[in-house]
Amino acid sequence: DVMMPGMDGFEVCRRLKSNPKTQALPVIMVTALDQPSDRVMGLEAGADDFLTKPVNDIALMARLRSLIRVKTMIDELRMREETEFELGIGGPGGRIDDSLPAEILLVEDSKTAARQILATLGKRHHIRVEPDAVRALETARQGAFDLFVISATSDHFDGLRLCSQLRSGLETRNLPVLVIVEEGDTKRLARALDLGANDYLSRPVDQLELSARIQTQLKRKRYADQLRERLHVSVELSITDELTGLFNRRFLSSHLNGLLRRALGEQRPLSLVFIDIDFFKQVNDRHGHAAGDVVLREIALRIGRGIRGVDLACRYGGEEFIVVMPGTDLLAATHVSERMRRQIEESSIAFGDRAISVTASFGVTQAKAGDSPDSLIERADQALYRAKRAGRNRVDAEPV
């Protein structure tokens, strides 16, 4: 409630939103004040909605469902982020820049109403106006928008249906939607919120309230984007090798079993190549570990350039690499390995003013019925060992 002794609701809201532990909690302010300036003050304090007494039960419950739905999504992202952080992957995000302009799609067939909104938001944000719902949906799916503003009062298109379509679409489901309804149209408002609208405005639209609600939605959207981006980076860190950019051993362990099972089930060939840089310890001893890192990165690049997009290249550990080649038999995998071997041997690697020459040995094997990931890797390792024992800088294929 806004009117409370000692500390009013505005200050309570400000304190909740300034505390990292409570800033994600949705806040609905309830008051007898009914001026647009009062609503704006509440929104600027961080409130998610501002309801005037007497509170309509239908509107209140629809608003609660909408806010809880959004909070559940944010909580899930935060929980994943905290788990990754506890595991030592990723870290806290930076400050969100609220001054950046947003890309907003306004779906409104009234030229007068569109001009009013453009006059309010156009100085700060980029607004695209679309008077047709079908074209608006196509534009939304193709464009990079931050927020949708949809008229729910049009006689020429169904704004609520468009809201539902945006919420169910893969490209648009996470983007905030603000609907505009007629004053007192509680039934349509409740329906809009249940269909996925994040916020609403009543006509006639107050320009200050419009700006405040837009800013609230953009701030929440950018916070969720930041959480998703940090989660994406954390996932990337968990499955890729930081030095070379190839997949790591953990990813190979989880992915090879599926590739092998599919290949054997479909009776298609699958080959595995085990690669080891020859005398790599001497590179570190002669030129230093920084040079060794440069060599590892360059070898990883050459391996990546020498295989197809469907092939799986991993850094197995140290100076060892593994390449899994679905749909490739032993003979073809041997030819690819020989080509990569020559590319490594024939071109030295620049390190400052020095040119470092290295070679690599290859062990190649093809999956057989009854193979497990461990048995497939073990046979490729044995072939690699034979290549090294025979003088290194060569390819050894397991006998068919």
- Residues recognised as catalytic: 319
Rounded CA gap, 106 and 118, in Å? 9
Q: Provide the 8-state DSSP code for 53.
A: S
Rounded CA gap, 208 and 42, in Å? 12
Hey, how many other C-beta atoms are within 10 angstroms of the C-beta on 214? 25
Closest CA to 388 of 272, 271, 278, 274: 278
**CB half-sphere exposure, 275, CA atoms < 13 A:** 28
Residue 53 burial (C-beta neighbours within 10 Å; 0-12, 13-18, 19+): exposed
Rounded CA gap, 63 and 69, in Å? 10
In the chain, % helix, strand, coil (3-state, to 5) comes to 50, 20, 30
Rounded CA gap, 341 and 323, in Å? 13
Place of tokens 């390449």: 323
Rounded CA gap, 252 and 273, in Å? 13
**388: Cβ–Cβ under 8 A, 6 or more apart, which residues?**
276, 278, 361
**250: Cβ–Cβ under 8 A, 6 or more apart, which residues?**
238, 239
User: What three-state secondary structure class fits 2?
Assistant: coil
Tokens standing for residue 309: 């997009």
Tokens standing for residue 36: 């647009």
